[in-house]
Chains A and B, each alone.
Chain A
């Protein structure tokens, strides 16, 4: 009984820490993106609020929260609100299967820095990725706006296409590691001393594309497409309700998927011990933000594809590639051994 209470407590603390860190980082990612975009575009980015504009996210948040919220005429109000939850919840839930570091002992208790170490962790990732589409679809449908509707339908088409590719691209890693548990995959890489990106470069590139598509980043940001659809599915939202949608999609999703990419391809928390017990966390976050940086960099450099092109690329180019990759991996693993 006592043990159950303690583990419950530990889990609650972990959830609290993770929520705080994820949402805080998500908010500060806006600052990071604006600053980065500024420098890419030969500007300075935010400088006024706080040193280096560091308080800008707070100011933005305050502004969004105090804004009048207008619900369009003819909107489906319950679904309108549900959409926000359906967008934010899966993005946060993605973090629940991410291992940030190795197991450690504190006050005699074994603690894993992961909320739930399930052995089907990757399936959870796919499931949450697919669930996120409901947020977009609901928001598009409930807004009673054609722009939002078109945007959300585009997103649905993209998610369907890229979920399939995502599944197949990760299959190679699962075959090699022999497990679906995220901790297991990281440990498999540490055991071998090789990151899986060297075994599965094609899979990584496919995963990267899927990551861009799922999080609606350039060049696959067709559901926003501010020039044609005026930001598409979230056009009828105001105030913090509006703020939550990009927060979930552009920041939380990108961070979570980057973290999963780090787990799958970059050896998770592995890295030289430079900071003592904090070293794994440092490496994990460094790798993760390296990927996030890459995504933002692309966002501010490339033009955007057309909707039909985006799905075409998924079905006609990436899916066959992923299948071939899986096949080759399977053959190699079968003959030369690999997983357990």
Chain B
């Protein structure tokens, strides 16, 4: 994807004179602006230069600088297909809020506040995003130790129950730890919502309708939701902190654990970013293998969405029909990667294994059979009156909201915004395959449903082309670029040749130094744009790695959509936004 063009930069310079400094890196163009002019520049970019789409906001910590925190904003211009990064130093640990320009920034700013302690002036609800209320530390600051602060560690259940031979299974008094549990729940409930309605319903953290550990608070008036709040963080594992402390290649398996339903897509997004930074060329065969598996994974992920979404709306059988097909994909992935869910199949510079014997035949059999199954799902749901009744005109998202809330993926496309990074910023082999982007018209749950259904058909088309191409390639074509110093050679070679062994040792022990610079690269995941913003100061570990989660931004519009709707709509809506908590919490 191209970055902001020269003419625009000139206009910005004219407008802001000395206040803006432009630095054009190899992979990104960023504008550095003074603290006072930040809001003006952002407003100017949004209103005058049409950088409407909010992509991400985060902070970087520089402890040696007196100003310490730097805010980073990533914006997108849908008309010109251009991105820009804006940076500004915080003053006294404060930044102005941009949530009045883009409501989608609300959660990003809360996250930055939670992780760095940067305060956002004018933010309407600046609370901890992932950590609990009352936690004193800010984990992503550089002076926060990797292992955590000891006295805040939670006692394990064995410790709590020490000496008791008859632990009662439901004794909360005994099991109460420093993690927020039942009493904090009530306190949080009161703090989060000004109780205006008859009933506050705790929907979560463990609830079958939320598909993970999200905690919703619904303020109910009868069955209608007056206002709602989302509490995240139950699955927060500090991915970004971990990334800062491991070598580039070591972080790859962690990405699997974010959106665990589409692991290969996550990996693809991550390796694409790192390969850009390290300038690694990827062999053609690896590109096609990546594309094929990413699309298989997309079908897999959409099948899970369809199954659970239908299950939520009471269609119990669709769930198992979806899992039947999903199982086949899992088998294909397992046959090739060795794992079913968290595959760690991709590598920087290629893929871990060459295609296993017979993979292409199995894939071909699958894509031959799958369109019929897709028809079956359509038959069960698409024209079903009850299904229409539950999904039509529910949760309509306008185009403006797509931009303002930073929505992406099928949620954005359901509202008629053709934002698909496979076309806009082709990675892997997406520029060489032919496929269409389905878009919706109304932007309701039904449109998002149709978009995802059509995406599965398009994925089949992509896989077909990949298989065709892969069949023509010679069997011994390289699947990993082991000439690059950052790439760990495949295991067979490590055991056979000395050079490869040395290289393997070197990378594993010392990591590979990346040039200083920054890169923002994103991929089209089944759940929206998964972006990696890597800020490198040289060295073999990223100085800051920010994960832009599509699911988090897609979820951020939920409280707005649910207002005035019933709880029955809540599950239809949530199903259509399709968040995976592993990715929203990271």
Q: Name A's B-contacting residues (CB within 8 A).
A: 37, 40-43, 70, 146-147, 150, 154, 218-219, 221-222, 225-230, 299-309
Identify the closest chain A residue to B567 (Cβ).
Answer: A228
Minimal Cβ-Cβ distance residue in A for B223? A307
Is B389 a contact of A227 with CB atoms below 8 Å? no
Max chain B Cβ within 10 angstroms of own Cβ: one of A37, A41, A222, A228: A228
Cβ–Cβ contact B314 & A150, under 8 A: no
Task: Known pairs A303-B313, A304-B315, A309-B389; list 15 more (Cβ under 8 Å).
Answer: A37-B317, A41-B317, A41-B320, A222-B568, A226-B208, A227-B209, A227-B313, A228-B312, A228-B567, A229-B567, A302-B384, A303-B314, A303-B384, A303-B387, A307-B568
Interface size bracket, B side: 20 to 34
Q: Are A303's CB and B320's CB within 8 A?
A: no
B313 contacts which chain A residues (CB < 8 A)?
227, 303-304
Cβ A303 vs Cβ B381 within 8 A: yes
Q: Taking the complex as formed, is B316 at the interface, i.e. its CB lies under 8 A from any CB of chain A?
A: yes
Task: Answer yes or no: B201 CB below 8 A from chain A CBs.
Answer: yes
Known: A227-B208, A228-B568. A43 touches B320 (CB 8 A): yes
Look across to chain A and name the residue whose beta carbon is closest to the beta carbon of B222. Answer: A153
Other-chain contact of B317, A154, A301, A304 (Cβ < 8 Å): A301
Does B52 sit at the interface, judged by CB under 8 A?
Answer: no
CB distance B310 to A303 under 8 Å? yes
Nearest chain A residue, comparing its CB with the CB of B207: A230
Give chain A nearest CB distance to B210 CB in angstroms.
9
| Contact between chains at B314 and A219 (CB < 8 Å) | yes
Residue of B199, B312, B569 with most chain A CB atoms under a 10 A cut-off: B312
Chain B, residues 367-391, CB within 8 Å of chain A (1/0): the string is: 0000000000000110010110110
Q: Which residue of B lies closest to A43 (CB)?
A: B320
Q: Is B571 an interface residue (CB 8 A)?
A: yes
Which residues, 535 to 569 on B, are CB-close (under 8 Å) to A?
A: 566-569
B223 touches A227 (CB 8 A): no
Residues in chain B near residue A304, CB distance under 8 A = 313-315, 386, 390
**Chain A: which residue is nearest B319 at the CB level?**
A41
Chain B 304-339 residues near chain A, CB threshold 8 A = 310-317, 320-321, 324
Residues of the B chain whose Cβ atoms lie less than 8 Å from the Cβ of A230:
207-209
Contact A308 to B321, CB < 8 A, known contacts A146-B199, A227-B312, A227-B314 = no
Q: Does B170 lie at the interface of the complex (its beta carbon under 8 Å from any beta carbon of A)?
A: yes
Most buried by A among B311, B313, B314, B390: B314
Contact A300 B317 (CB under 8 A): yes
Partner of A40, one of B312, B317, B390, B568: B317
Interface residue B85 (Cβ < 8 Å from any Cβ of A)? no
Interface centre among B199, B320, B380, B387, by most chain A C-beta atoms within 10 angstroms, is B320
B189 CB to closest chain A CB (Å) equals: 12
Q: B265 on the interface (CB 8 Å rule)?
A: no
Q: Assess whether A305 is in contact with B386, with CB atoms less than 8 Å apart.
A: yes
The reply to whether A302 and B208 contact each other, CB–CB distance below 8 Å, is no
Contact residue among B199, B208, B384, B390 (Cβ-Cβ distance under 8 Å from A306): B390
The answer to whether A303 and B170 touch across the interface, beta carbons within 8 angstroms, is no
B386 interface neighbour in A228, A299, A300, A303, Cβ under 8 Å:
A303
Does B570 make an interface contact (CB < 8 A)? yes
What is B's interface to A at a CB cutoff of 8 Å? 170, 199, 201-202, 207-209, 223, 310-317, 320-321, 324, 380-381, 384, 386-387, 389-390, 566-571
CB distance from B479 to the nearest CB of A (A): 36
For B389, the chain A residues whose CB sits under 8 A away are 305-306, 309
Q: Contacts A227-B313, A227-B314, A228-B567 known; A303 to B208 CB distance under 8 Å?
A: no
On whether the beta carbons of A219 and B321 are closer than 8 Å, the reply is no
Provide the residues of chain B in CB contact with A228, threshold 8 Å. Answer: 209, 312, 567-568, 570-571
Chain A residues with CB under 8 Å of B384's CB are: 302-303
In the complex the two chains form, is B223's CB within 8 Å of A150's CB? yes
Does B201 contact A146, Cβ atoms closer than 8 Å? Answer: yes
- Pick the residue among B321, B381, B568 that contacts A41 (CB under 8 A): B321
Please measure, in the bound complex, the distance between the C-alpha atom of A222 and the C-alpha atom of B567, giving whole angstroms. 11
Alpha-carbon distance between A154 and B567 when the two chains are bound, in angstroms: 12
Asked whether A302 lies within 8 Å of B311 as measured between CB atoms, the reply is: no
18 A-B contacts (beta carbon < 8 Å): A41-B316, A41-B320, A41-B321, A43-B320, A219-B386, A227-B208, A227-B312, A228-B312, A230-B208, A230-B209, A299-B316, A301-B315, A301-B380, A302-B386, A303-B310, A304-B315, A308-B223, A309-B389
Provide the bound-state CA to CA distance between A300 and B389, in Å. Answer: 18
User: Across the interface, do B207 and A303 meet the contact criterion of CB distance under 8 Å?
Assistant: no
Instruction: Give Cα distance in the complex from A299 to B202, angstroms.
Output: 28
**Nearest B residue to A41, CB-CB:** B320
Q: A7 → chain B, closest Cβ, in Å?
A: 47
- Which chain B residue shows the least CB distance to A308? B566
* Bound complex: CA A302 to CA B202 (Å): 28
Instruction: Report the separation of the CA atoms of residues A219 and B201 in the bound assembly, to the nearest whole angstrom.
Output: 24
Looking across the interface, which residue of chain B has its beta carbon closest to that of A224?
Answer: B314
A70 to B168 CA separation, bound complex (whole angstroms): 12
Pick from B223, B386, B568 the residue with the most CB of A within 10 Å: B568
Q: A302 to B207, Cβ gap below 8 A? A: no
CB of A306 within 8 A of CB of B568, answer yes
Residues of A within 8 A of B387 (CB): 303
Give the residues in chain B near A40, CB-CB below 8 Å: 317
Nearest residue, chain B, Cβ from A146: B201
User: Shortest CB–CB separation between residue B445 and chain A, in angstroms?
Assistant: 12
Query: What CA separation (Å) do A116 and B84 show in the bound complex?
Result: 82
Give the CA-CA distance A198 to B201 in the complex, in Å: 48
Instruction: Identify the closest chain B residue to A222 (Cβ).
Output: B568
Per a CB cutoff under 8 Å, which of A41, A150, A218, A309 touches B567?
A150
- Complex contact A227–B311 (CB within 8 A): yes
B568 touches A303 (CB 8 A): no
User: Could you tell me the distance between the alpha carbons of A230 and B201 in the complex, rounded to whole angstroms?
Assistant: 13
**B566 and A302 contact, CB distance less than 8 A:** no
A231, closest chain B residue (CB): B208
Chain B hits for A309, CB < 8 A: 389
* Complex alpha-carbon distance, A46 and B316, angstroms: 17
Is the CB–CB distance between A305 and B390 below 8 Å?
yes
Q: Which residues of A contact B315 (CB under 8 A)?
A: 301-304
Return chain B residues, CB-CB under 8 Å to A150.
Answer: 201, 223, 567
Complex CA distance for A308 and B567, rounded to whole angstroms: 11
Minimum Cβ distance to chain B for residue A155 (Å): 13
Report Cα–Cα, A304/B387, bound state, in Å: 8
What CA separation (Å) do A302 and B312 show in the bound complex? 12
Closest CB in chain B relative to A237 CB, distance in Å: 15
Q: How far, in angstroms, from A281 to B400 measured CA to CA in the complex?
A: 66
Q: A residues within 8 A CB of B321?
A: 41-42
* A256, chain B: closest CB distance, angstroms: 24
Residue of A nearest to B380 (CB): A301
Closest to A299 in B: B316
Which residue of B314, B390, B568 contacts A218 across the interface (Cβ within 8 Å)?
B314
Q: B217 to nearest A CB, angstroms? A: 12
Task: Given A228-B570, A230-B207, answer yes or no on A302-B314 (Cβ-Cβ < 8 Å).
Answer: yes
Which has the most chain B C-beta neighbours within 10 Å: A222, A301, A306? A306
Closest to B170 in A: A70
CB distance from B209 to the nearest CB of A (A): 4
Chain B minimum-CB-distance residue to A302: B386
Residues of B within 8 A of A154 (CB): 223
Which residues of chain A have C-beta atoms less than 8 A from B199's C-beta? Answer: 146
A139 shortest CB reach to chain B, Å: 18
CA distance A227 to B208 in the complex (A): 6
With A41-B321, A146-B199 as contacts: A225 and B390 at CB distance below 8 Å: no
Closest to B210 in A: A227
The answer to whether B390 and A303 touch across the interface, beta carbons within 8 angstroms, is yes
**Nearest CB in chain B to that of A221: its residue:** B314
Q: How far is the CB of A149 from chain B (nearest CB, A)?
A: 8
Find the B residue at minimum CB distance from A38: B320
B317 — which chain A residues lie within 8 A by C-beta? 37, 40-41, 300-301
A37: chain B residues at CB < 8 Å are 316-317
Q: How far is the CB of B39 from chain A (nearest CB, A)?
A: 41
Bound state CA distance, A301 and B571, in angstroms? Answer: 19
- In the bound assembly, the distance between CA atoms of A221 and B315 in angstroms comes to 11
Closest beta carbon of chain B to A68's beta carbon, Å = 9
